Amino acid sequence: MRVSRRSMLAGTAAGVLAPAVGVAGTASAAGLTRQLTLYAEALPGGLYGYGLEPGKATIPGPLLEIYEGDTLEIELVNRTDQRLSIHPHGVIYDTASDGAPLNASFNKPGETRTYTWRTRTRYDAGGGFWMPGSAGYWHYHDHAMGTDHGTAGLARGLYGGLIVRKRGDLLPSRQYTVVFNEMMINHKMAPDTPVLEARLGERVEWVCIGYGSLPHTFHLHGHRWADTRTGMLRGADDNAAIVDNKNLDPGSSFGFQVLAGEGAGPGAWMYHCHVQTHSDGGMVGLFLVRNPDGSLPDGAQDAIDRFKQHGHTGHDMNPDAQTHQGGEL
């Protein structure tokens, strides 16, 4: 899912989260407290999604961002006739904000409930040991629809990306959330999977998330990144492994930044699951790197046309899902 950089973060010196739709903030000694409202809604084809406005739910839901030390208060409005919730990974919360029926933390049909997520910076635990902070590429999802583990909610689209940043992190020009769920990418199969776009040299951030019951790996053609928190090296002497393929199993997530077309040039580049039967079955999308002026590079349209003729061999697990997100720059 494409998210506007301007709508989520402001590149201020202090690195303060800018108001997205429905977000307000108050300062406290522990950091900023941000409030936003999410709407859980039914979508065509028996699917569900989260959105920042009524009638604007998507699959995946909006990409949420916060800085270490800040708190996010989410008012979840359940506009469906199903029990559901929102459960985060990577942040701190009490049992009332767990999003799990085990702790009676969920929204009944039509109910509004507030979930509070806190973050922290790393701190000295003594004895030469440190406790980690919250920075990372995480995710959130339903934990109550269908079963006490939210299995139906995950199968029907109730999930989204979550970024906790360190202040001073480089901010990208474009962001994309890519979710591998069973044999689908963002609840689509090729040739209907998202076509994600950038112009040559733009900094692009990827948030990759895994759900379902199948193991996957994420591979991006023509690009590579450091296997670190951000996908970047910290200096000339940083010898972190460089990868272009990484495991993306259910419940896992990672993210990285690349410069679009760096060293490889513009073109239509595939991203896909590298389990061969999965890519053959439709788990493949396109990363379209346009020329700096936004025009299509030579050969790109032919590649797109060939991609649209993709005939997957797997069984159809995605009838009547939402249209893919992307579009011209």
- What superfamily would CATH give domain 2-165? Cupredoxins -  blue copper proteins (2.60.40.420)
Q: In which band, very low, low, confident or very high, does the pLDDT at 5 lie, cut at 50, 70 and 90?
A: very low
Beta pairing class for 217-220 and 203-211:
unpaired
According to the CATH classification, is domain 174-308 in 2.60.40.420?
yes
Mean pLDDT for the stretch of residues 275-303: 97
pLDDT confidence of residue 312? 64
Interacting residues of 293 by C-beta distance below 8 A, sequence separation 6+ = 199
As a whole-number percent, the residues of the chain with pLDDT over 90 amount to 84
Q: In which band, very low, low, confident or very high, does the pLDDT at 320 lie, cut at 50, 70 and 90?
A: very low
Q: What is the pTM of this model?
A: 0.87
Mean pLDDT for the stretch of residues 203-218: 98
Domain boundaries, the chain: 2-165, 174-308
Alpha carbon 147 to its chain centroid, in Å, reads 24
Give the least confident one: 9-23, 200-214, 260-274, 303-317: 9-23
Burial class from Cβ neighbours inside 10 Å (0-12, 13-18, 19+) for residue 260 reads buried
Do 2-165 and 174-308 agree at the fold level? Answer: yes
**Dist CA 327 CA 224 (whole Å):** 24
Tens digit of each residue's pLDDT (9 = 90 or more) over 44-87: 999 999 999 999 999 999 999 999 999 999 999 999 999 999 99
pLDDT confidence of residue 83? 98
pLDDT confidence of residue 310? 78
Mean pLDDT for the stretch of residues 310-326: 48
Q: In which band, very low, low, confident or very high, does the pLDDT at 313 lie, cut at 50, 70 and 90?
A: low
pLDDT confidence of residue 27? 47
Q: What is the DSSP string of 121-161?
A: --EEEETTEEE--S-EEEEEE-SSSSSTT-HHHHHTT-EEE
Mean pLDDT for the stretch of residues 275-300: 97
Structure tokens of 268? 């239509």
Mean pLDDT for the stretch of residues 257-267: 97
Is pLDDT above 60 for 15? no
Structure tokens of 142? 């339903």
Closest to 194 in 3D by CA, of 179, 214, 209, 210: 179
At 88 the three-state DSSP class reads strand
pLDDT confidence of residue 252? 98
Tens digit of each residue's pLDDT (9 = 90 or more) over 21-42: 223 455 444 689 999 999 999 9
**Dist CA 151 CA 147 (whole Å):** 6
pLDDT confidence of residue 78? 98
Mean pLDDT of the chain: 88
Tens digit of each residue's pLDDT (9 = 90 or more) over 99-158: 999 999 999 999 999 999 999 999 999 999 999 999 999 999 999 999 999 999 999 999
pLDDT confidence of residue 325? 38
pLDDT confidence of residue 314? 52
Is pLDDT above 80 for 326? no
